[in-house]
Structure 1
């Protein structure tokens, strides 16, 4: 009868990370007619830029690895990190030093084209490890491998949750934890915290395979693009708990056809519709390396609770202006308030106007704003719920500033909307100056 080995001393979980891997010929090297990189030199210049690598070192080495270390203390586990011999010496030294600190981390120098996630490249190493541990025992043993990008973080109980699905009858299955958390990275904090429901997300997607100790073989199915994994293999979707943290920033690789400023503004615009989350909504034990920056990134307390004031009664005649610290020229502008009404709202019930300076010639759409003669640079406060949180943010280009924010009532909407306000603010972020082609045609 086939046996399932649960020996706590046997590695039955394997992680795979491509750490800024230079791999010409792979899908990451966008050299088509509509791509970014005309040649490998330009691709390498982008891939190994100081700003891009520093962010990934901070996240992967500083935030992700300590949590993986907690997992490794409870579950036998190895994590393979594919890196290039061309990785700048400072960052290669950091990675190798991390491997000295964390024995579960296995750096693998790889200088050839990588097929997708990198699991096929490290498969021989996994087999070698399993043969060493299980070769004499015989039988079939369920093993789980998972992918982790170098700018994402998993919760401390990730392997605890995966263990539930490590079974022989799940051989060839993918596991997708579809619910997570996301935030935008400032220089010293994580801001714009949101819940992120993303079924078949790449973050922490895992795969069950079986190691046959009698034949020393491991069956690994190439999963293909994560968004279509369920067309390749049966997929277990579990979205009961928040099981990944996607840190968004201006140097992500998912939209290389755009400048860093375009990527940042598009990222923030995409987050607007995600449910807002408070630091108090998260379990600190799940996110031990992130909670300090999450708490630091929270807006100041609500005015009503801070000053002992009653909530504001909002109506179409309401107009409130809040001054900003304009000393930060360039950064993320954030404005947030809670609302509660006796009835569901009907849609747009207010206008948020950002009073900007130094943005002459910049297309308002680049900022993710409208520019009307009545309200100026603005966005709509919109909801069809009776209560919730409205949070708006956008990135100021370098040299621009925001002096104040005005909240104005709009149209025929319920007048019994009570609002609890937080102080608007400008948060310093990594430089994301818009390029000349982002400006309006009249200014070029």
Structure 2
């Protein structure tokens, strides 16, 4: 039987996990009040609809599925708004799950969307405020095929692209930096497994994946991810000390050409639009 490798992504959208996030220690009611605050959700939708989903829609290889994982307790009006995205983005699927650990929830999200007859699943992770380069799926499929053909994915194996763009929406003076991560980043990173999903890309801290899983890192080429910086980040996302600043005009051009993102729409995410945006 020939190799059939299905590519599936998973985005956690305000999912009330029992661990793994700064707010996970909160009780059910307090966590839901925080996650489902209308102003917060409106902001998360703005990021998702302006950056994340357009970058997936622009993929040069459209043969993939992306699952949005959200809580079963997400209010209906917001569930409906998520579901309407499938009209614009046919690659989307949804998993509304009860509160549980982040790994268990992620594995269920992946497993529910595995096609029959596939020999491998390459599962990628993506936050709801980040974006992927327009050739991410194409290159991930190619690199995964090479690893599988070479016998390097008989057990779970990872692959990641380490060059990306930091985009600070609160910095009108210097919103863009280029950087190459020294380890597998938390995005533009995927794990090849068997179709029963014995583990998944959310199993390990991305900084330590190579400690446990054979990992292929590709540092060259163009920017493959956008890491957004804003006031609602769960973890610190400041640009690393050795990141290279880019002119605002060049950064806006990269948004359009590398990520399929409308620079004018992205500028509306910023409290103050830089004068030399375009």
Pair in the same fold by TM > 0.5 = yes
Shift, 1:219, TM fit? 4.5
Say whether 1:163 aligns with 2:163.
no
The equivalent residue for 2:30 is 42
CA shift for structure 1 position 248:
0.7
When structure 1 is superposed on structure 2, of 142-151 and 47-56 the one drifting more is 47-56
Instruction: Find 1:197's aligned residue among 180, 188, 199.
Output: 180
Identify which of 202, 209, 217 aligns with 1:237.
Answer: 217
- Residues in 2 aligned to 1:153 and 1:79: alpha-carbon distance in whole angstroms: 13
- Larger RCO (CA under 8 A, 6+ residues apart): 2
Residues 119, 31 of structure 1: alpha-carbon distance in 2 compared, 3 angstrom cutoff: closer
User: Taking structure 1 as reference, are residues 117 and 59 closer, same or farther at Cα in structure 2, changes over 3 Å only?
Assistant: farther
1:14-33, aligned counterparts within 5 Å?
A: 14-23=8-17, 25-28=18-21, 30=23
Q: Distance in 1 between matches of 2:104 and 2:40?
A: 20
> 1:107 is matched with which residue?
94
Distance 2:104 2:169 in 1: 25
Ranges in structure 2 where 5+ consecutive residues have no aligned partner = none
Pick closer, same or farther for the CA change 1:100–1:244 going to 2, 3 Å.
Answer: same
The match for 2:228 is: 247
**Other-structure match for 1:438:** none
Q: How does 1:365-384 map to 2 (within 5 A)?
A: none
Q: 3-state DSSP class of the match of 1:4? A: coil
8 Å Cα contact 1:83-1:109 kept in structure 2: yes
The alignment yields a C-alpha RMSD, in angstroms, of 3.0
Match of 2:250 in 1: 280
Distance 2:21 2:6 in 1: 29
Kindly indicate whether the alpha-carbon contact (under 8 Å) linking 2:110 and 2:123 is maintained by their aligned counterparts in 1. Answer: no
Evaluate the alpha carbon distance shift between residue 147 and residue 288 of structure 1 in structure 2; reply closer, same or farther with a 3 A threshold. Answer: same
1:67 corresponds to 2:21 = no
Counterpart mapping for 1:307-326 below 5 A: none
Matched, 1:12 2:6: yes
Describe the SS at the equivalent of 1:165: helix
Q: Which has the higher strand share?
A: 1
Query: Match of 2:132?
Result: 154
> Counterparts of 1:50 and 1:191 in 2: how far apart (Å)?
30
Structure 2 Cα separation of the partners of residues 190 and 91 of structure 1: 34
Q: Which structure has the bigger radius of gyration?
A: 1
* Matches for 1:424-435 after TM superposition, within 5 Å: none
CA shift digits 1:307-341 (9 cap, x unpaired) = xxxxxxxxxxxxxxxxxxxxxxxxxxxxxxxxxxx
Aligned residues between the structures = 261
CA distance in 2, matches of 1:151, 1:277: 20
**Structure 2 CA distance, aligned partners of 1:107 and 1:49?**
21
Q: 1:193, CA displacement in angstroms?
A: 0.7
Match of 2:261 in 1: 289
Alpha-carbon distance change, 300 to 123 in structure 1, aligned in 2, over 3 angstroms: closer
Structure with higher helix content = 2
Match of 2:162 in 1: 178
Query: For the residues of structure 2 that align with 1:118 and 1:205, how far apart are their CA atoms?
Result: 18
Output the CA distance in 2 between the equivalents of 1:191 and 1:40.
39
> Does the aligned pair in 2 maintain the 1:142–1:166 contact within 8 Å?
no
CA contact (8 A) 2:11 2:128 kept: yes
Change in Cα spacing, 1:117 to 1:157, as seen in structure 2 (3 Å) is farther
| Superposed displacement of residue 150, structure 1 | 0.8
Normalising by structure 1, what TM-score?
Answer: 0.53
Q: Which of 73, 84, 92 lines up with 2:79 in the alignment?
A: 92
**TM-score normalized by the length of structure 2:** 0.81
Partner Cα separation in structure 2 for residue 63 and residue 29 of structure 1? 24
| CA 1:115–1:60: 2 relative to 1, 3 Å | same
